[in-house]
Structure 1
Amino acid sequence: MKNKIYLFGIFLLLVFSACEKDEHEVISIKPEATGVFVDTRDGHEYKWVRLGNLDWMVENLVYGVGDFVEPYYNIDDPDDKQMEDFMRNMEIYGGLYPYDIALTAAPEGWRAATDEDWKNLEQVLGMDSDELDKEGYRGDRQGELMQQDSVGTGLCMQLGGFFNYYGTRRLTDYMGVYGFFWAISPEQDEAEDVNAIYRKISYDLPKVYRGTTLKIKQMSIRCVRDAVKE
């Protein structure tokens, strides 16, 4: 009897050790290629990384913010401090765009990432195929991998929050906490459809959220293009 208890104890210890090792296992996924793209519309330079069959910009789009894209102030009559905060936030997190503008905001040769593009990336980063079309939090470490800098995937997903309207009040929410990214979908581009698909990434959760929300909200854009391999 004592031998059985002893052997069972060893078995539990081995199982626990295996789980602990797996929990802290380091996953390293490196881009297949890297490069730089200059948006001729404003001269802004974007680095990009190649993962799977797509090139992903490694920062959120900034084109048109303060011009045809409304600045994300929290008050209607911004003072100098609000202007300074806005400019600093845009440099860190990029712009926040409503869905209709996201459809055409990307530079020539690129596009705002579609729902299929996001699923492609998630699968490259190890998400099970049976989770890709689900809503809510999915995967295990894909959200964490998306935030890695050049020591990992290089995607550097910035957590810019979102800009929303609450009645007559405007408010920027969750900046530095969550990244909200449009996931363009042809099925939801019709004007009468008020909702669209998006992704949410958190600073403290390794999974990736997939869901729908109102198109009038302003969110980040990550641009992609089909990789041209030589």
Structure 2
Amino acid sequence: MNYKIFIKLSLIALAVIAFACQKDEAAPDLNPDAGPSYIDIENDGYFVTLGATPAPEGQTGTWRIYNGENGHFDDVNNPKTNFYGEPGEKYIIGWELSHGKKYEASLIDVSFKKMNPVIMAYPGDTIFNNRSLWLESEKPQFGATGLWEIVDGDGGRIENAETNRGEFIGLENEKYTLRWSLIYGSKKESVEFTFVTDTLVAFAGNDELDIITSGETKYYTLDAFLPAGATAKWQLLDGKPGKIHIEDNAKSLFEGVADTTYTLKWTVDLEGEVVTDTVDLRFRGKWGVYTDTRDNQTYRFSTFNLGQKGNEYTLEWMAENFNYAFDPGVGSVYYGFADRSVIKTGHAVETDEDRKAYGRLYSFEAAIYAAPEGWRLPTILEYEDMLVALGGPIHADEKIKMDGESGLDLNYPGYFQRYSGQDPYLRNVFDLQDINGYWWTSSAGDNGLVNCYSVMSEGDLPGQVIINQSYSMAVRYVREVTQ
């Protein structure tokens, strides 16, 4: 070989080796850092702001998705870019650094919370007294939308189906399954419930016969139910003066006066099907009203502040004679109705109006046990305290009788005596109706005699009589007012 040629080839080979060594020594290290992972994120738009370390000069940084669907970046080359995903999806993403053909990646996890549709109240297995249903769920959040759907059941529809407060209207006695869904991107999470409809029944609210408010003009917020998809209207049937402020509002303000019983009608129209209900209202003025839940009879009562300074107390005193059928025919009777009996004065109490006015006559034992819960017979001392509070017997006489200013409205129901000595045959005797009134107290002595209080249509002032237990008398219960 020519020596000069050999030298030249050797120099070329050395140059190639030197260049290759120089290139290897110049290749940078790739140390990508993708930053922290983000787990169970929940926010508007379902995104996170990533925190990778920027690529060194001469290197290129790129974000890539390795696992997970429907995610994207604002800028794949920005280490602090926003990454967007979908609820319920788990992503593995990487921050890649590259130089020439060489690259390295750092991986992080990003996950977003699954949507959780929540219905505020389920109707149970059956919608009682209705064939429509107000639908309510938690409002969609974080950019999701909502949708009500009928999954199963014929003849139904949903109004405002794309809001969290929809209205379902169906047929009566039909089984339905409804679904509430949250939707975001490609994700849809749902919850379902099944129920059976009932017939449509109007509800005007519960009777309120003792509404306590201040001021001469009385106000009460009505409490009817408006079925979903229906229209309705109030009407004043009985009681003046009275005013319904907004006739088509189930929660309208009602305006009235004290001691007047009002009857209001609530008419509901659902797709041409019309049903009605009524409610009775009364504002307390001179009287309160108590309802005995055993038979739903009502009794007016007056309130008295009694006792001396330092020993004051307040009693509610029934302003009508009691009329509960306790041990009827034995423990309690109506005037004129008893075996082997005669009526010396007055008339038999037969009509509903008379029976409400006179009430029943009770044996002493029955008078004790017939009391509704919370009520009791007064003591004779409490009766005397009441007379004192009203100015003494002389001044109290007219105040405690019918139409008197106290509101007690004592009348003259008479009495009943078994095996009476007034009758030559010792028959049972009814006497003094519309002449005298007698009422039991709880003040009984060891000898079996009982103190009763009385009023008379003429003659003597109100006071007390002491009688044996062969009599049956009227009853007015009292109860303590708790502060």
TM-score normalized by the length of structure 1: 0.69
- Match of residue 178 from structure 1: 436
CA distance in 2, matches of 1:148, 1:75: 27
Q: Does the CA contact (< 8 Å) of 1:62 and 1:94 recur in 2?
A: yes
Gaps of 5+ in 1: 1-30, 79-83, 128-138
How far apart in 2 are the matches of 1:222 and 1:210?
15
Distance 1:74 1:61, change over 3 A: closer
Deviation of the 1:74 alpha carbon: 6.2
1:145 aligned partner, one-letter code: K
Q: Residue type matched to 1:112 in 2?
A: L
Residue 362 (structure 2) pairs with residue 91 (structure 1)? no
Q: Deviations along 1:181-214, whole A, 9 cap, x unmatched?
A: 11211x52x5xx2311011201124621212111
Measured after TM superposition, the shift of residue 85 of structure 1 is: 3.0
- Cα deviation, 1:61-106, whole Å, max 9, x if unaligned, reads 111253652444366379xxxxx93333432211111111112221
Select 1:51's aligned residue among 288, 295, 304.
304
Counterpart in the other structure of 2:69: none
Q: State the 1:164 CA deviation.
A: 0.8
Distance 1:37 1:179 in 2: 22
Residues in 2 aligned to 1:200 and 1:194: alpha-carbon distance in whole angstroms: 19
For 2:434 and 2:340, locate their aligned partners in 1 and report how far apart those are by CA, in whole Å.
24
Structural RMSD (CA): 2.6
Residues 142 and 206, structure 1, Cα contact 8 Å, conserved in 2: no
Question: How far apart, in 2, do the equivalents of 1:163 and 1:77 lie?
Answer: 12
User: Given the alignment of the two structures, is residue 202 of structure 1 paired with residue 452 of structure 2, yes or no?
Assistant: no
Within-5 A mapping of 1:39-188: 39-52=292-305, 53-64=314-325, 66=328, 68-73=331-336, 76=339, 85-88=348-351, 89-127=354-392, 139-149=393-403, 152-165=405-418, 166=420, 168-185=426-443, 188=445
SS of 1:117 mapped into structure 2: helix
Higher-helix-fraction structure:
1
Shift of 1:33: 6.0
- How far is 1:36 from its partner? 1.1
**Matched residue type, 1:225:** R
Please say if residues 74 and 171 of structure 1, whose CA atoms lie closer than 8 Å, have aligned partners that are also in contact. no
What is the one-letter code of the residue matched to 1:58? A
Q: Distance in 1 between matches of 2:384 and 2:410?
A: 15
Instruction: Please state how far the C-alpha of 1:32 moved relative to its aligned partner.
Output: 8.4
Q: Which residue of 2 aligns with 1:134?
A: none
Contact 1:143–1:205 (Cα < 8 Å) also in 2: no
Q: Sequence identity of aligned pairs in percent? A: 26
Which deviates more from structure 2 when the two are superposed, residues 92-101 or residues 140-149?
140-149
Does the 8 Å CA contact 1:141/1:206 hold for their aligned counterparts?
Answer: no
Residues 134-190 of structure 1 show CA distances to partners (whole Å, capped at 9, x for unaligned) of xxxxx31322211142x61111112101001215311111001100111211x52x5
The answer to whether residue 466 in structure 2 is matched with residue 212 in structure 1 is yes
Q: 1:50 to 1:206 in 2, by over 3 A?
A: farther
Counting matched residue pairs gives 178
Please give the per-residue CA displacement for 1:111-131, whole angstroms capped at 9, x wherever unaligned. Answer: 12221221221111112xxxx
SS in 1 for 2:473: coil
- Off by >4 Å, runs of 4+ in structure 1: none
The secondary structure found in structure 2 opposite 1:49 is strand
Answer whether contact 1:57 1:224 (CA < 8 A) is retained. yes
